[in-house]
Structures are given as structure tokens and as C-alpha cells.
Amino acid sequence: MDIDPQYWVRVLLLNDVKNCTLHISSAFSIDNVDPNLQTQVQLAGLDRLENPINIRLIDNEITISGRTFPNKEIIISPDEPYVFNLNGRNYRGKLKLITSPDGSSFDAMNIVPIESYLAGVAGAEMPDYWEPEAVKAQVIAARTYCLYTKKRFGSNRNWDVGKTAAHQVYLGVSAESAAIWNAVNQTTGMVLTCKQNDGTEDIFPAYYSSTCGGHTENSKNVFGESFEPLTGVPCSYCKDVAKPKFFFWPMAQFDKPEVTNKLFQRYEKLKQLDDITDISVAGESNCGDFSRLTMIELLGSNGNKEFLRAEDFRLAIDSTGRKIKSACFQLVDLDDSWAFLSGRGWGHGVGMCQCGAEGMAREGKTARQILSHYYPGSKILTIKY
Ligand SMILES: [Zn+2]
């Protein structure tokens, strides 16, 4: 718990809520951050809780156990073993609550040392019984991604990363195990770096996804960012690791009005098409024996055209990504519906292929070899906390 504040991570646990349930099995304090001194001022010290308590907004103020706190921000800090339970899930570190500007809701953030955060990510992102070298590669990629995202976006918002696959899945203490902690401890401080546009060596967004399907994708086609290690490489390793139904996924089918509605809901600019009369492929990456779509053209009933990245297109139609698992598919017009055929791979395909990492590790490759395959041109640097 005594690492430099820049290596604590703020994870958004609850967004825009009016109440939550808290349980802490140790004594804890409720603090306020003095905006002038940037130090914590204790508002209350409480004994361990016998039962979960409700935190709710009453008259736009946070109320904990019947006591109201008029502060916009409060920090709840458990004593050893530094664990709290929010809505039934255990997390390490501290809990920060921030009320919205109009006081109608609040956000809940977990303020957690990065290594504890990574244990809660690695065990959620990868099975802990996978090869230790694959899990170590996962931890190093996750550490790099987190620190990059924190640096790039954290200063403009109250949190650094979310807890879902939109960033990295974080499940707190329940994701931890001895194998996961071994991988975290054996890679402490290790991050990936590459040459930046200005010539310096620094961290980059080390994306990763479940199953690339045989070839990873250039980040420029998916996220719009260019980094040398994120240019796309062949992967012969995931096919034997991924479940067959995830490597080759079954046809998905969506009614045309549903597709149009979902696209219009997600992207305001598409409404100028009036109605979508045709959808076609405007860009694709050649992956050898298959293609990954990169750009989709939408034709409107009024003759206007709009373009969407294929990854954005599929997630607008199927936000969970459970049916249209990747942008590797053939789009077929079935008159009343759109069919997504010949699908392969699961996820955006940029950076490390998680199943491929496991495949490489089973062949005896080290975490370092796995990372240099999926992030070509990257280096490993160890940060001293
Ligand atoms: Zn792969």
C-alpha cells in the first residue's frame, strides 16, 4: 500500500448511481480530500461493520449509515487487510465516491495500487491454469495498457480505467489466485515500450484480444492510432487453443430495421441517410486465407453515403460482441435481414492474441518471446515503483 501515488489506479466501479451497498470487515476511515492542500482530512473513523450498509443520496448528499457528508468527494479507507466489499464484490485499496455536479447521482471508484489491480485483471482476462509464461505476458500487456490509458486520459476525468472489456475486465479479489499473483510478482514493474513519433521510447496502448483467428490487425484500422508494435502479425497459435465455436463462429442474423435502428442510435451522423438501403465493404485487411473487414459503407435512401470502421459497425449492432464476435465475416443481404457469415476469431484482433499467447507458451516460448511476436519492435522496461 506504500507505492508512489502515480502508480495507484482509479478504476470506475459504478457510474451514475443513487445507492450502493458497502461492507468492510476491518475498521475504516471516511476522509475528504482538501482541494487546496491535496491531502486527506478525516471526517469519521468507524469500527468494522457487522452487516452491509447502504450508501445513498439524501437531499443530494452522500449518506452513510445515517450520517450525511456534504462533501462532493469522499474517500473510504479500510485498515488492514485493506479490502472493502462493494455491491457484493471484494476490492483492495480504497473507495472514492464523487457526486455529480447537480448532486443527483454519484460515481464510485476503486483507488488501488497497480500490482493489486493487475491481479484482479489478469485472473479475469485469462484462466489462471494457463501456462505461467502466457499469464506473465498477459500481466505485462495489461500493465502497459493501464499505465498508457491513465497517462493519456486520466487527467481529464475522475478515473483512469473502466472495469469492463471496453478497457480491461477487472473483478477485484475474486479473480486472484496463487498462480495469478506469481505472474504479477515475477513481472513487477515490467512494461512494453516502443519508439514514439517524436523519437523517444515510451509505453503504448498494448491492446490484446481473445482470438485473432489467424492474423492480428493493425491498430490504425480499429482504433485509429499507429504504433509500430501494433501493425498486425500472422498467428498460427490460437487455432488449437480456442474453442472451435469461438475460432469459427456460427452465422449471426439481424433484421434490417433492427440494424438501422441500432446504427442510428449509436451514431447520430447516420440519421442523414434517412434509411439504410445498402451496406457494403469499403476496406479490408488481407490476412492470408481470410480477410478482416476494416471499413463499411452505408448507403442511404436519399443517396447519401456514410462510412464506419468495421469494428464500430459490429459493436453498434451487437454491443456485447457475443454474436458478431469479430470483424472477420462476410456480410450477406437476405432481403429482410443481414447475415454475418464465415466468422472467425473473437475480439478486435489488435495486439496480443490471448489464445495465441497460450499456444506459444505450450510450445515452450517465454513471456518475452510471446510479447515480441505480438508487439514487434517493442522492448520491455522495468519501472521502479
Ligand atoms: Zn491468434
Q: Measure 211 CA to ligand 1 centroid, in angstroms.
A: 5
Q: What mean pLDDT do residues 352-358 have?
A: 98
**Distance separating alpha carbons of residues 8 and 110, to the nearest angstrom:** 10
Q: What pLDDT shows up at residue 40?
A: 78
CB-CB contact of 371 with 352 (8 Å):
yes
Query: How many Cβ atoms from other residues are within 10 Å of residue 238's Cβ?
Result: 25
Q: What mean pLDDT do residues 191-204 have?
A: 96
Rounded alpha-carbon distances, angstroms, from residue 181 to 2, 373, 380 = 18, 24, 20
Handedness of CA 266, 269, 272, 277 (dihedral sign): negative
**Distance separating alpha carbons of residues 276 and 287, to the nearest angstrom:** 29
Q: Measure 289 CA to ligand 1 centroid, in angstroms.
A: 14
Q: Measure 369 CA to ligand 1 centroid, in angstroms.
A: 15
Q: Measure 198 CA to ligand 1 centroid, in angstroms.
A: 31
* pLDDT bracket for residue 269 (50, 70, 90): very high
Q: What pLDDT shows up at residue 1?
A: 56
Query: Three-class SS of residue 378?
Result: coil
List pLDDT tens digits, range 106-162.
999 999 999 999 999 999 999 999 999 999 999 999 999 999 999 999 989 999 999
Query: What is 224-279 written as a DSSP string?
Result: S---GGGS--B--SSTTTS-HHHHEEPPEEEEHHHHHHHHHHH-GGGGGGSSEEEE
Q: Measure 318 CA to ligand 1 centroid, in angstroms.
A: 22
CB-CB contact of 235 with 298 (8 Å):
no
Strands 89-92 and 94-99: unpaired
**What's the chain's average pLDDT?**
95
List pLDDT tens digits, range 77-90.
999 999 999 999 99
List pLDDT tens digits, range 2-52.
678 789 999 999 999 999 999 999 999 999 876 665 677 888 888 999 999
Q: Measure 72 CA to ligand 1 centroid, in angstroms.
A: 46
**Distance separating alpha carbons of residues 261 and 258, to the nearest angstrom:** 5
**Distance separating alpha carbons of residues 77 and 56, to the nearest angstrom:** 18
Query: What is 25-88 written as a DSSP string?
Result: SS-EEEEEEETTTTEEEEEEEEPPPSS-EEEEEETTEEEETTEEE--SEEEEEE-TTTEEEETT
Share of the chain above pLDDT 70, in %: 98
CB-CB contact of 124 with 51 (8 Å):
no
CB-CB contact of 213 with 326 (8 Å):
yes
Q: Which residue has the cell 513481472?
A: 187
CB-CB contact of 231 with 376 (8 Å):
yes
Which cell goes with 115?
A: 500490482
Q: What pLDDT shows up at residue 38?
A: 67
Q: What pLDDT shows up at residue 39?
A: 74
pTM as predicted: 0.94
Q: Measure 237 CA to ligand 1 centroid, in angstroms.
A: 6
Q: What mean pLDDT do residues 326-341 have?
A: 97
Query: How many Cβ atoms from other residues are within 10 Å of residue 25's Cβ?
Result: 15
**Distance separating alpha carbons of residues 42 and 293, to the nearest angstrom:** 54
Q: Measure 43 CA to ligand 1 centroid, in angstroms.
A: 51
